[in-house]
Structures are given as C-alpha cells and as structure tokens.
Structure 1
Amino acid sequence: MRARRWRDRLKAEWLLLAFALLTLALALADPQPIAAWRRWLQGPTLAGLAGLLIAIQGIRDSAMVQHVAALLVARAHSLRSLGLLLVTATALLSMVLTNDVSLFVLVPLTVVIGGLSNLPVLRMVVLEALAVNAGSTLSPIGSPQNLLLWQHGQLSFLGFAWAMAPAAVMMFALVAALTWIWLPRDRVALAPQALDRQSVARGLAALSTIALAAMVVLMEYGHAALGAGVLLLVFVLAAPRSLARVDWLLLLTFAAIFLGLGHLAELPAVNATLDRLDFSQPLTLYLSGIIASQLISNVPATVLLLERAHDPITLAIAVNVGGFGLAIGSLANLIALRLARQPHGLRALHQASVPFLLVSAPLVYLAWRWLG
C-alpha cells in the first residue's frame, strides 16, 4: 500500500523528476561555476512565487473564494457568458498583476465555481491559461519577458503597449472566440451543495488579501525575497495550518525547471546554432522566438535571443505567441494546471493550446505587420 502511494506521488510529480534529471545530466556533462547556477535559479522569481503561494493558500482557507464564486454563479445566465466573464477578468488582471498572479487569483475561483455549478472546470482553466498570455502581451509589466524587453528597448510604457496592441487584440479575440465555441450553451445550474455555504474566516481573509497585495507591490519594486520572508514569519505565527497546506513541491518544480532550462540555453551547441541565423529579418526572429519558447519556455527564450534581436518588439510578440502551444511554452500554463489539479489537465491543455498556436501565430504576425 505504501509503495503504491509512493508510485502515485512520483507519477503526480513527473515534471519535477524530469527536470531534476535534466539538471543532473547537464551538470555532469557540462560543469559550470556556482555563479552560473545562481543566475539560472532566478531567486527573486522563486521568492515571489513562494509569497504568492502563501497568500493564496490563506485566501482559499478563509472561504472567501467560495463566497465570491457563489455570487458570480448566482448572477450568471449561461456557461458561455460566465466563461467570457472569467476569461476577460483573467486577461485584464494579467495586464496589471502579471500573468502568474492573475492565475493565482482566478483559477482557485474557477475551481470553486465548478464545484457549485455545471461549469466545466478543466476547459475553463485551459481558457484562462490562454487568456493570461493574451492579456499580459499588451502590458510592459504583464510578464517577465515583457518587463525585460521593455527595459532593454528603452521604450515608454505607452509606446510599448501601443506597439503590442495589434498582437494582443488578435490574441484575445481568438481566445474569446474559442471560449464561445468550446463552452456549452447550457444555462448555469447550481449544485445542491452550493446552498451549504461555509462562513468566512474574516481575519484570515483580511490577512491573506493584504499579504497578496503587499507581495505584488514588493515584487514590482524588486523586494520579493523580503516579502516572502515576512509572509512566512507572519503565517508561522498567525496561520500555521494554511502554511502547512502550501504547495511547496511546486516551488521545487520551478527551481528544477529554471536550472535545467537555464543551463540548456547556454550550451555551446545552442549558441553555435543561433549564430548561423539572420535575426535582422523579422520573420526569422519571430519564428525563432516561438520555436525557442516551445523548447525552453518563453522567459529563457527571451534571455537567449535578447542580445541577438535587432527589434525588441518583434521578439516580444514572438515569445508571447510562443507561450501558446506546449505547456512548457509559458510557466503560466504549468501554474494554471497545478492550481486546478484536474485529471488529464496536460492533455486537455495541449488539445486546445497546440492548435491555438498554429492558428494564432500567422494571424498575429499579419495583424502586427499590417497594423503595427
């Protein structure tokens, strides 16, 4: 029985194991100094993720999400209208709070709504993963790759957003169309347990909401480690049970991904291949950004191509489009699936996201070239 539990646990954490093995294999094949490992680990990003996980777990345990979900369900007329509301909210939040933070807010809400109604949770979470990618494309602070390219290109905030607008509008229009097509036309039906509402733990709800807002602000100003440390201490003292339920293995998974992909992107063979490409051609840079994102995720792809790119906007559009397709294309995809914890989530994501990439890539390129 214990062996079976371990097998099930290892099967659930296959992504952690895969990237841990990749990291180990690269470490043996291509030894690097400690400084390189520190750079690949992306400590501030991991610290920010830890703080968000702590705050969101507190919000979940307070039952505040359940009450908000019940209010939304009670006012929705159809699954399609509810889906469009959630997709739009996800896209708008991602422009301000970044793509991963918006998922931390909306995916738990979506899971609860699915428990209260007939909303297909997995389809909705996949749509939200696509929506954060579309929404965050518009904003210079919507994603790590946009922030990096905005600063590197020395563009104004509005100048960057204006240049990205044709691509972002096309992406969101496609996500909205998919939402309308993919969700059932049925009316929202409340489940019987929706009437049995748990009372909100107001103290925990207030603490966790303040913690979430503070963490976002501290991340924006480069103090993610300080924020995570303070939140850890506060929750140890005020809400240790919530702290114990935090998905700490998700942090380990991202650490393994950062180390493995960071090392892979700096291999001599990878750089030699890139040196043969002409990145002064917009289409070459666009396709390279998309393909690199599918192989090593869009943030490492941005770092890999940054110094070779003659046009930061072309690269920005490419790596944002590259967030569609394979789950590894954007770490936001992996966060959405992990937060939802739905059976066959990876399969459902790929069934929607891979065709979505194939359709959106040429349309976004044409919209950007004609209207940009």
Structure 2
Amino acid sequence: MNSIKGFIKKEFTFSIAFVLTCFSIVLNPNPKTYLGMIDFRVLIILFSLMGISSALESSGAFNALRDFLLKHCKSERAFALVMVFLPFFISALITNDVALIIFVPFTLMLASGLISNKKLAILIVLQTIAANLGSMMLPVGNPQNLFLYTFYSFDVRTFFSAILPYSALSALMLLFCGFLFFDKREIKAIVKISIVDKKKAGIFFLLLLFSLLTVFRIVSPYVLLIVSIIVFFIFSRDVFFKIDYILLLTFVCFFLFSGNLSANEGVKEFFTAIIKRSAFTVSLITSQIISNVPSAVLLSQFTNDGVALLKGTNIGGLGTPIASLASLITIKAYMKDSENDRKNFFVYFLILNISFLLILCALKVALELL
C-alpha cells in the first residue's frame, strides 16, 4: 500500500490521467477505436528527444557552455541574466522540463553566498518563466508544441509567425526584470572546468538535427525511431534507463481520454460550443487547472483553430504552479532546502507569472487590432 501511495505521489500527473482515462471508457466502450486515438508520431519524437537530451547532458556539453558564460560574469546582474537566458534558449531545443532539471539545482548551489535569499527566489522564478517561454520558440521545445504542430500539420511559416512575437516580447521582459531586480554589485562566481566528451556531444547533436527533420515531416518517425535506438545502443546505452517512460504513458492516457470524450456526442457538442467563442481563452483558462499539455490534447478534439490553441497553451503555461508541469520541477528543487525563502517564493512566483501572462495577453489583443 505504501509503495502505491509513493508512486501516486511521485507520478501524480500520470495517476490522474490514468484514472480519468478509465472513467472516460464509459463514454466510449469501444476498444476497437482506442489504438487509432494514439498519436505514435508524437510519442516517437518525444522518446528520441528525451534520449538525446539525456545523452547531451551526460556528455558535458551543457556544463561547458554554462561555465564558459559564467567566467565572464563580473556582476550580480550579469550572473542573473546568464542564468535566466541559458534555460530560455536551451529549452527550445531540449524542452522546458529538461532545462529546469539541469539549471535550477546548479543555480541554487552556485548562487548560495553570491546573492541574497530574496534575490535567489526571484532568480529561480525567472528561470522557470524563461524555460516555459523560451520552449515555445520551436516545435520541439515542449510537449504541447510538438503535439499541436503534428496534429494540425502546421507549416514552418504558420508556426513561427504565430509564436515569434511572443518569444521576442518574453525575452525583452526577462531582460527588463534582470535590470530591475539585480544590480551591478561585483561578484565572483566559482566555476569548475567541465570535461566534454566531444565525440558523444557531436553524435547526439547530429541526431538532434535528424529528429528535427522528422518534426518538419521530412523523415518518417519510424525511421527516426530505428536510428535513435541504434545510436542509443551503440553510443549511450544508459539513455534507455533515463528516458521518462511514465511521461510517454501519460501522453497515451491523454490521447485516450480526449479521444473518448470527443467520441461522445453530448460531450463533443458542449466543448465545441464553449471553445467556439474563443479557443485562446478556453485553452488559457483550462491550462491553469489541468496544465497546458493535457489542455492542448483535450481541446484539439473540438476546434480547428490550432493557432489559437498554440498561443493559449503556451501563454497558459504561466500563472498557477500547475499551469506548466515543468514549474513543479522548480518548486520541488527549491523546497528541498529549508533555508530558502519558501514563503516569499510563492508570492514572487504568482506575481511574476501573472504579470508576464497579462502582458503577453495584451500583446495578443494589440496584434489583433492592428
């Protein structure tokens, strides 16, 4: 019993998704339709990207990049900006959750004694926002982008024209916050020399580029799967043990749950009616309650306005702590140390997240008025 409770606590999202999927079977008790609801293309790309991210991390490539930049940090402001923009840009390639897994613990360790507890809390919040917003720049940056890009068969121009204005404003807001909250006080960050496995880093960077060909529909996902398995097996077998298979199963549950809902005429009519008013608003609000990934999967069954869902679920990753599940990685890491400013952390988290969310929503309104 304790092991079950421990699993549920550790994999809360999967547990909820599994329960919802089981209940949704009542709405569509037709097992023959279930296999067709699963988007295997998304699952294959996610599998490959998680393996590639793990291999690149273990190669030391990200540590080397981080250390190179930190060597040039002479002030508190420069340090903060580097630690914010690293996850902002890197998350676009390796996803927001992986970026936070890499950089949040390092920042907590490195910043101790360099900046105050208050500023550390603000910095960690800004890192989380940066990863969630930076990840929207590319189709592979986060799971909902990957799913929506595939589901709606976006072309490159449609995707980037929809997202880049928000990415650009996000970068400017993060830069502004860096100047607002951190000063020019001189600091000296202690940086260790990182050892990089150049061969391994190069191989998996090429595999990353190859996976992008699948994202852009140039290479078959099944070819990517075969190539990825071969490369993992030859050059980094430990990757197979580091891939988050529970996340893949969570996606399977999301696919089945949303598919069963859309198969029921009553449910379909209800969601189609409310989302017809504003797919952006509905996805934004839904993301605050069930997070942006399941919102994207669920609501895609009831609207053809994929661009609105793309904007709504990406901006909707801001706001509540569960709006983006990647944010929970930050919270868990930050709460481990009892000396951290836990009380004010959530105040900063909500104020900054809501501020960024409102400003990006204002940009959407402004762009529509032009």
TM-score (norm 1): 0.71
Q: What does residue 241 of structure 1 align with?
A: 238
Number of aligned positions between the proteins: 351
- When structure 1 is superposed on structure 2, of 237-246 and 137-146 the one drifting more is 137-146
CA separation of 1:253 and 1:205: change in aligned 2, threshold 3 A = same
1:367 paired with 2:363, answer: yes
Matched, 1:16 2:39: no
Give the direction of change, closer, same or farther, for the CA distance of 1:63–1:22 in structure 2 (3 Å limit).
same
Counterpart-to-counterpart distance in 1, 2:170 and 2:197:
39
How far apart are the structure 2 equivalents of 1:171 and 1:150?
Answer: 25
SS at match of 2:205: helix
Give the deviation of 1:31 after TM superposition. 2.0
1:226 and 2:228 correspond? no
Deviation at 1:51, TM superposition (A): 0.8
- AA at the equivalent of 2:317: G
Shift of 1:44: 1.4
Q: 2:56 aligns with which of 55, 59, 69?
A: 59
1:303 and 2:300 matched: yes
Using the TM superposition, give the Cα deviation of residue 349 of structure 1 relative to its aligned residue in structure 2, in angstroms.
9.4
Instruction: Choose the corresponding residue for 2:333, options 338, 342, 345.
Output: 342
Q: Distance in 2 between matches of 1:132 and 1:73?
A: 19
Q: CA 1:361–1:110 in structure 2 vs 1: closer, same or farther (change >3 Å)? A: closer
Question: Given that residues 42 and 258 in structure 1 are in contact (C-alpha distance below 8 angstroms), is that contact kept between their aligned partners in structure 2?
Answer: yes
Provide the residue aligned with 2:199 in structure 1: 203
Determine helix, strand or coil for the equivalent of 1:22: helix
Deviation at 1:368, TM superposition (A): 3.2
Q: 2-side partners of 1:356 and 1:116: how far apart?
A: 23
Q: Deviations over 1:295-333 (max 9, x none)?
A: 4534225514533x5xx655543333223234554xxx3
- Structure 2: which amino acid aligns with 1:130? I
- 2:253 corresponds, among 251, 256, 265, to 256
Gapped runs of 5+ residues in structure 2? Answer: 337-342
1:71 paired with 2:71, answer no
Q: Secondary structure at the match of 1:342?
A: helix
Q: In the TM superposition, what are the counterparts of 1:1-372 in structure 2 within 5 Å? A: 8-28=6-26, 30-39=28-37, 41-92=38-89, 97=93, 101=95, 104=98, 107-109=101-103, 111-112=105-106, 114-118=108-112, 126-135=125-134, 143-144=145-146, 147=149, 157=157, 161=160, 167-178=166-177, 189-190=188-189, 194-195=191-192, 197=193, 199-221=195-217, 223-264=220-261, 267-277=264-274, 279=276, 284-295=278-289, 297=292, 298-300=295-297, 303-307=300-304, 309=305, 316-326=310-320, 329=323, 333-335=324-326, 337=328, 342=333, 344=335, 354-356=350-352, 358-371=354-367, 372=370
How far apart are residue 289 of structure 1 and its match? 3.0
Alpha-carbon separation, structure 2, partners of 1:253 and 1:23: 10
TM-score under structure 2 length normalisation? 0.72
Structure 2 Cα separation of the partners of residues 32 and 51 of structure 1? 31
Unpaired stretches in structure 1, ≥5 consecutive residues: none
The 3 A distance-change label for structure 1 pair 231 and 362 is: closer
DSSP 3-state at the match of 1:240? coil
Are the counterparts in 2 of residues 138 and 168 from structure 1 also a CA contact under 8 Å?
yes
- What amino acid maps onto 1:334 in structure 2? L
Matches of 1:237 and 1:18, distance apart in 2: 36
RMSD: 4.4
Decide whether aligned partners of structure 1 residues 107 and 79 sit closer, same or farther in structure 2, where only a CA change above 3 A counts: farther
**How far apart are 1:20 and its partner, in Å?**
1.6
Mark the CA change 1:180 to 1:103 in structure 2 (over 3 Å): closer, same or farther.
farther
d(CA) in 2 for partners of 1:11, 1:70 = 35
What displacement does 1:53 show? 1.6
| C-alpha spacing 1:324/1:267, structure 2 compared with 1 (3 Å) | farther
In 2: Cα distance, 1:129 partner to 1:78 partner: 22
| Alpha-carbon distance between aligned partners in 2 of 1:123 and 1:256, rounded to the nearest angstrom | 35
